[in-house]
Amino acid sequence: MSRDREKRNKIVSENMGLVYACANKFKGRGIEYEDLVQSGCIGLVKAAEGFDESRGFMFSTYAVPAIIGEIKRMFRDGGAVKVGRSDKEKARNLLILKDELAAKLNRSPTIGELASESGYSPEFTSRLLCSAMPVLSLTVDDDEREAAETDITAGDTTEEMGDKIALQAAVEDLPERDRKIVEMRYYSGLTQTVTAKKLGMTQVQVSRREKVILNELRKKLS
């Protein structure tokens, strides 16, 4: 049971970007952004608890509908999910404790370790961390690759938005060269010839690899 809980908490901490991506969709509709994030966290935790990786699906494909469902539930309930002042203070103290543990362990502590040290349950610890985490951007930009952005438009349905977020997560999970092929071909709009030149490959190699990548993405997202 403890191992399952640690696994679930690891999934939650690694997929907070999905919560921010979904919450961003509902900004400016009358509910505070931090409340949207808090509600999305509830959906993320529920998804982590119910996820069965043996079925072969990407976690993001399973989690996004659950996150969006919780956010929409809050709108139906009149924005009832709130982070009280006491919980905000607990979240701030938990972040301080997290930094102290990281210094002692020379690594980032797990949610289980934080829960044990703070005296909170792992579930409550996860929710506090969710409410305290800074907003993440969907734009990825570093020294290794060009920026790639998930384009979510105002007219997207829940299904379309979920598909886009899940696709971006699947692309991020690709090996570096495969990810660059996708980014250059489908985000930057480069031809196979130009992509091949940038990556030190031939056009035929890019073409063949691209077909394999697209097939793998379809299997993960189907």
Per-residue pLDDT reduced to its tens digit, 90-116: 888 888 888 888 888 887 777 778 888
Indicate the SS3 state at residue 174.
coil
How far does CA 7 lie from the centroid of its chain?
Answer: 16
Closest to 147 measured CA to CA, from 182, 187, 206: 187
Residues 18-39: tens digit of each pLDDT: 888 888 878 877 787 877 888 8
65-69, 101-105, 170-174, 196-200: segment of lowest average pLDDT: 170-174
Strand, helix or coil for residue 144: coil
pLDDT band at 221 (very low <50, low <70, confident <90, very high): low
Tell me which of 3-12, 95-104, 133-142 is least confident.
133-142
pLDDT at 211: 92
The per-residue pLDDT for 37 is 83
Bridge-partner residues for 148, per DSSP?
A: 140
Q: Which residues pair with 140 in a beta bridge?
A: 148
What stretch(es) of the chain map to CATH 1.10.10.10?
Answer: 174-221
pLDDT at 145: 34
Cβ–Cβ under 8 Å, residues 36 and 71: yes
Nearest 5°: the CA angle 28, 29, 34 is: 65
- Amino acid identity of residue 34, one-letter, is E
The answer to whether the CB of 69 falls within 8 A of the CB of 43 is yes
The tokens describing 33, both together, are 């952004």
Q: Which of 11-20, 25-34, 138-147 has the lowest mean pLDDT?
A: 138-147
Q: Which residue has the higher pLDDT, 217 or 209?
A: 209
What pTM value is reported for the model? Answer: 0.46
Q: What is the dihedral of CA 34, 36, 41, 44, to 10 degrees?
A: -150
Q: What is the CATH number of domain 174-221?
A: 1.10.10.10
From CA 68, how far away is CA 62, in angstroms rounded? 11
Band (pLDDT 50/70/90 cuts) for residue 156 is very low
pLDDT value for 173: 77
Confidence check: pLDDT of 48 > 70? yes
Q: What is the average pLDDT score of the chain?
A: 75
pLDDT tens digits, 176-214: 999 999 988 887 888 999 999 999 999 999 999 999 998
Neighbours of 70 (CB within 10 A): 23
Amino acid type, 70 = E
What does the pLDDT average to over 115-123?
Answer: 81
Q: Are residues 123 and 45 in contact, defined by beta-carbon separation less than 8 angstroms?
A: yes
Query: Looking at per-residue confidence, does 150 or 160 come out higher?
Result: 160
Residue position matching structure tokens 């901490």: 13
CA gap 69, 158 in Å, rounded: 9
Question: How does DSSP classify residue 186?
Answer: I
In angstroms, the first-to-last Cα distance of the chain is: 30
* Structure tokens given for 220: 């993960």
Answer yes or no: are the C-beta atoms of 11 and 46 closer than 8 Å. Answer: no
- Mean per-residue pLDDT for 59-63? 80
- Nearest Cα neighbor of 70 from 25, 36, 20 is 36
